Amino acid sequence: MRVRGGSLSLLGNVPLNKVASVPVEVTGVAVITVFYEDSITGVTPSPTVATILTQAYIASTFERIMKIRVSGTNYAKYFFKVNGAITETLRTGPNLNETFEFSGAPYDLSSGDTVTIEVEHFNAGNIDCEATLYGAV
């Protein structure tokens, strides 16, 4: 890569503003966006299970979950629930940031579904936790 005469060039002597574009059609690709995120502070040790985030199904807005990112300030166990039933459990440690991954087969929601992310930890003292829902419409 070189800079010539004030314009950046990635293709030898051809300035970027002179490079032709090629139209490309992409099908079957879902754009992943952040749906909802929330955090809580001062989560007390087990046997307390605390809710980080709760979100109800919204047609054409919140229908398909691609992944859920969770993190906290200490080791913890996170629960992904749909309508109060545990769908998946994930434990952190030593990495305190983890992901429930559904990108290969997104988790589809139906009308009336409610998603809840909960946390439980077993260490002394309180911790802070976050959760982010990512999805595609």
Q: For 82-135, how does the pLDDT look when each residue is reduced to its tens digit (9 = 90+)?
A: 999 999 999 998 999 999 998 778 899 998 999 999 999 988 889 999 999 988
Residue-wise pLDDT tens digits, 75-89: 999 999 999 999 999
Residue 116: inside a domain, yes or no?
A: yes
Residue 111, domain CATH: 2.60.120.380
Residue 25: inside a domain, yes or no?
A: no
Residue 18: inside a domain, yes or no?
A: no
Strand bridging mode 97-101 / 2-4: unpaired
Name the domain count of the chain. 1
Total residues belonging to the chain: 137
The domain in which residue 39 lies consists of 31-135
Residue 92: inside a domain, yes or no?
A: yes
Residue 84 DSSP class: T
Distances (CA, A) of 32 to 29, 79, 106, 133, 137: 9, 22, 11, 10, 8
CA 64, 66, 72, 78 torsion-angle sign: positive
Residue 17: inside a domain, yes or no?
A: no
Residue 15: inside a domain, yes or no?
A: no
Residue 52: inside a domain, yes or no?
A: yes
At position 99, the amino acid (one-letter code) is T
Estimate to the nearest angstrom the gap between the alpha carbon of 93 and the chain centroid.
18
Model pLDDT, residue 136: 74
Model pLDDT, residue 60: 77
Residue-wise pLDDT tens digits, 48-84: 899 999 998 887 778 889 899 999 999 999 999 999 9
Residue 54: inside a domain, yes or no?
A: yes
